[in-house]
Amino acid sequence: MNCEGPPGAVHGGCLATTLDNVFGWQSSRVMGFGCVTLNLNVNYKKFVKLGGMVRVEVKTEKIDGRKLYMAGKLTNNISTIEDPQDVVIHCDSTALFYKRVPQAWTYDQAVKLFGPQSKLSQEEIVSILKHANQQSVHQQRLESNEQIVSKL
């Protein structure tokens, strides 16, 4: 895949995709699986050279119910740079994620089930999680319907 944008530099869409991916992992760790991107804002500051390395940093800013607000940045700080003036911020970003399925498994629950060194393929894990989440939503609907019927 060619990620070249301006001559000799990484395309901004590839940088945005990288940030979105890392925000996604952060959302899974904080809120559990089942989160989606509602908003992603990227402010580009300095080009990233093709073949260059960057460090992606993200942090949780706020949790509001099923909404997760985060901030992040791409820097050249691959290892610890002692002088902060030498750190180049290539872009900074904010993101809003939403947890679609309130009962979706958390990251810790998935690690406990599959183990950190699981031999399952990514497709198998996704299939298991989808099935478990569908059962959870189905059970919630059944319980809700039972409550409605009992009120009648």
| pLDDT by residue, tens only, the chain of 152 residues | 578 888 889 999 999 999 999 999 999 888 877 788 999 999 999 999 998 888 999 999 999 998 999 999 999 877 766 677 778 899 999 999 998 876 666 666 666 666 666 666 666 766 776 666 665 554 555 554 444 444 44
- The full DSSP string for 82-115 is SSGGG--EEEEEEEEEEES-TTPPPHHHHHHHH-
Instruction: Give me the catalytic one of 20, 64, 86, 92.
Output: 20
Q: Please tell me the distance from the alpha carbon of residue 73 to that of residue 22, in angstroms, as a whole number.
A: 10
Tell me the C-alpha to C-alpha distance, in Å, between residue 142 and each of 96, 103, 148, 151, 152: 31, 14, 10, 14, 15
Q: What is the pTM assigned to this prediction?
A: 0.67
Concerning whether 20 is annotated as a catalytic residue, the answer is yes
